[in-house]
Structure formats: structure tokens, C-alpha cells
Structure 1
Amino acid sequence: MGHIRLGNLPKTQKWRDLVRLIAGSGVSGGVLSATSYVEAIAAQTLGASRAGLDNAKHDSGVVYAFYMLTQVTLASRGSNWEDALARHGISLASDSTVFDLTSEIQAAIDRHVSRSSSGATDLSEMAQQSVGESLMSLAEKRTANLFAGSSDEVRNAIHTLSTKKGFGELGQRFFGRFVARFLNFYLSRATAAALGGPRLPDLADVAEFNEALRIHCDESARIVRDFCGEWYSKTAYREGIDLENASRFLAVAVRKLSSELEQQGGEV
């Protein structure tokens, strides 16, 4: 199957308003910092590209990427986590590192996507990258070295994310990074168009804007942190986590986060 892309930028009045907002056109009070209107920009982007984000709820690659987070953390609870991981196509040696684990997870997601009827999509790639980034960023705090160590050290680091609180933190990081990547898909073109304007005069300002957006999405994803932890803990205990209930959960989580970003934008 070919790679399915999200498509062109939305050709709407709302999108043109967004580009003007980034460029600084029509904003009173002079030149503003890149972070000043990031909430409104994030909300307007969601409004202009809502259909694309809605598709994430039904994208098999996005669902599987999130499902793999649940399975890797659950595997860390067992006495032989390497065997548990192997059941999902993840192969670790005794001297494997966090980097090795994330590489194996990425490969497992690739194999799943290649077998799906839809094939790879922009959304599935964003989710896949967000899985690796969220695991690496959180494991970094829990291991001495991301590129050295042992499988047991990796398991110990991931095990801290297998609790209700730990998976809540992991879920927040995953959804925050996923939405940030989604918004950047559209905003990278808008910021490029605005480069040289009063708001974003050079590449350093674009980088500042993108970093502000990432932080904003991470913080906004706090709305799903407890939701992730509670669902993970209860579902794993009561019935076990599978692709079907992971898909249902992801749809609700994406809707919650989308609503949160739009509400924040309306308050600016």
C-alpha cells in the first residue's frame, strides 16, 4: 500500500486568519513573542484541520502505536519480560538498551502498519515517532545511559511507567507529542510563509515558536494524564488490554485533548 498523506493545507478563512496571526498582521501592540499567542494558534489550527485529527481515532497505525505502549509497560511487570516482548515481535538481548527497545518497538509498528489495509499514513508515522520520543524522554530520567546498560536496567526503567501514576505520565507525554506533531504538520507551512514578517523575522523565532507549541501541547495533555492512568490500571486488572479497548480509549482521549486546546484558545 502507498503512503497516505493528510493532504494540502485547509483553504478556509479560518486558516488565513491563522497565518496572519502567526505573521503578526493585524495584532495591536507591536511585535509579540512567539509564545504569546500559541494557545490561540493551536486552537485555530485544530479548527482548520479538525478532519485530520478525527481520522486519528480510526487510524490503525495510531491505535497500534498506543497499544504497544500498554503492552511494553505491562511486559515489564512479569518475571521474564523479554519473552513477553517477543510475543509482540520485540527482540531484546541481555545487553539491550533503551535505544534498542525503542528501535524494536518502531520496527514492530512498521510491520503492523505494512500488513494493514490502509498502510502507512502521516498520522501513523506521527504516532510512531511519538511513542519513541515519549519513552526515550521519560526513560532518560530513570536510566544512567540511554545507549548503554542491560535489558534488566531497561525493564526497571519501564516498570516505573507500568503503575497507574507512571502510565498516566507516559500517556500525557505520548498524546502531547502526537498532537504537537500533528499541529506542526500544518503550522510548519504557515510559519514558513510568515518567515520574515514582524512576528517571525528569522529561523530562530520559528524554532522558538515550535518549542513553545511543543511545551503547550505537553501541558495541555495533562487533561488526559489521570484518565490514561485510571483506564490503564482498571482495564489491565479487569479484562486485559487489547486493540479493541485501546482503540475505544484513544478515541475518547483525542476528543478530550482536542476540546481542551480549543477551550484554551477561546480564553486568549
Structure 2
Amino acid sequence: MGHERIGFLPRTKHWKAIIDQLAEFDDNNESLAQIANGTLSNVKKTYGSMPYDESVIKALKYLVTLSVSAKKENQIDFLKEHGYVVDENLSLFSLVRSAKSLITTENGSLEFNKIVRDAILQTITAYERNNRDDQLSLFREQPSSVWSKIGSGAVFCELARSFFAAFTDRYLKYYLEREAASSINDYRSIEVFSKKLSEQAEAISHHAFETSKIMQSFAAGWYNKYAKDSIPSTKEIIDFLRVSFGKMREELRREADEL
């Protein structure tokens, strides 16, 4: 596909450094090791099944469809034909509403579905905020030009990376809290750990964003091959997710080896 090869990534704050900061909650290094290893183990295991998850497939399709729509003669009509509930201004509010109605699950975990959907909402909100000249508003009086300019591999890889970063960020924090609850025996230590986790929230978010870089150039190449003129098939979307999550899973494996 001709995409750039990216090796293991340097980070401002490695996973081990984040865990070391959390260590102040307790003197029990064994508990800390269980939390750190358990978190990465669960995230890696989850990433193995993510390419086939209904919510994740719908989330990626949501981004791809939105991007492809920018190349259509009538973007609004194209989106409506594919189930989006958008207004004539293509406001952020209507895109958020569309995401909530499209990214659903029949048989999967509602808790997991919310994590995926919230990651998409963060992605589109951040993109509009970062690409608007005027102040962000959910209710627009004039049509936005932001979403009419996203029909390229470069923009799609930016959106995809943002989604993977937001998803990873939420999942790392989710599993850290869950592992802490099962590894720490007293309520006071759990409270202290939760406080330290909040203090490290920015570092964890940055870690997730840097980890997601490993799939960014692949996303651009995939888009230019499979989504240049039409929405990719479900199989093609699953293949994209399989490779992307595989890259991130390998990066997390390296993090686990460093602990």
C-alpha cells in the first residue's frame, strides 16, 4: 500500500513512568504490579477481538461515511441516505445525534458501546473545534465548511487516529480502575489510588495518543485504496480494524515487557 513504516515509538511519558507515579498510593509493589500487568493484559486481549465488535465496526463506518460524503455532489442527501440524522447546516449537534443513533449494539455490552460511542463523539467534537475559525457552537446559523473538506486520506487518518487514541485512553483508565478494585484490599487505598489516577489522566491521554500514531499512515493508505469513491464493505472495514488494532496491540505488548 506504500504507507510509511513506523517502528516502536518514543514517548514523553512511558507506561512504566505513569505506573511509577501511581505507586505512591501504596507501598505494596506487588499490588501495583498486578494492576499494571492486569491492565495491559486486558487491553491487549480486548484489542484482539475489537475488529469484529459491532460497535467498533459501526464507529469506523461512521467516520468513513462522513469522509466519503465530502466528495459527493450533495453531501447532506448522501448522509441522509446512509442513516445520518443531519440538518441542512451539517451542525455538530446533528452529527452527534447521528452518531448516537447509528453506533448501537444489539447483543454487545452497553457499557462497551458507550466507550466506543463517546470516543467518536470526542473525535468529531475535537475536529470541528480545531478546524473552525470562529467559536464552536452546537447550533449554527450558517452552513459549516469544516465537514465539506474532509474527503481525503490525510483527514481520514487524522480522524482515525483521534478515535483510536480516545478509545485507548478510555479503556486504559477503565481497566486501571477495575484492576485496582480487585487488587487493593482496603477502601482508603482505593480512594488514594483513584485520586492519583485522576492526577495522571493527562499523561494517560498523551500515552494513548502517541500509541495511536503507529496506525496513522496505514489509515491514510487504506482510505485512498478502499474509500476514495465509495464506502468500503464490512469486510474491508474489519480488515482495517484488524491491522490497526494489531499494530497497537503489539505496541502495548512492548510496554508490558518493559514493566
Q: Shorter-chain TM-score category?
A: 0.7 to 0.9
1:264 aligned partner: 255
Residue 174 of structure 1 corresponds to: 163
- Across the two proteins, how many residue pairs are aligned to each other? 231
Does structure 2 conserve the Cα–Cα contact (< 8 Å) formed by 1:82 and 1:91?
no
One-letter identity of the residue aligned with 1:25: D
Change (3 A) 1:104 1:151: farther
* CA distance in 1 between partners of 2:93 and 2:160 (Å): 19
Shift of 1:51: 3.0
What residue number does 2:210 align with? 219
The alignment-based identity, stated in percent, is 20
Q: Which has the higher contact order (CA 8 A, sep 6+)?
A: 2
How do residues 1-268 of structure 1 correspond to structure 2 at under 5 angstroms? 22=23, 23-25=25-27, 41=36, 45-110=39-104, 113-114=105-106, 118-143=107-132, 144=134, 145-149=136-140, 152-153=143-144, 156-191=145-180, 196-197=188-189, 201=192, 204-237=195-228, 240-267=231-258
What is the CA distance between 1:148 and its match in structure 2? 2.9
Gaps of 5+ in 1: 1-17, 28-36
Q: Which runs of 5+ in 2 are unaligned?
A: 1-18
Query: Structure 1 counterpart of 2:162, which letter?
Result: R
Residues 58 and 121 from structure 1, CA distance in 2 versus in 1: closer, same or farther, beyond 3 angstroms?
Answer: farther
| TM-score of the two chains, using structure 2 as the length reference | 0.76
Give TM-score scaled by structure 1 length: 0.74
* Amino acid aligned to 2:208: C
Change (3 A) 1:129 1:159: same
Which residue identity does 2:55 align to in structure 1? G
Could you list the per-position Cα deviations for residues 228-264 of structure 1 after superposition, in whole angstroms to 9, with x for gaps in the alignment? 1111112123875122200111011111111112213
Distance 2:86 2:120 in 1: 18
* Shift in CA distance, 74/152, structure 1 to aligned 2, threshold 3 Å: farther
Alignment deviations for residues 46-87 of structure 1 (CA, whole Å, 9 cap, x no partner) = 224533332212211211111111001111222211111112
RMSD: 3.1
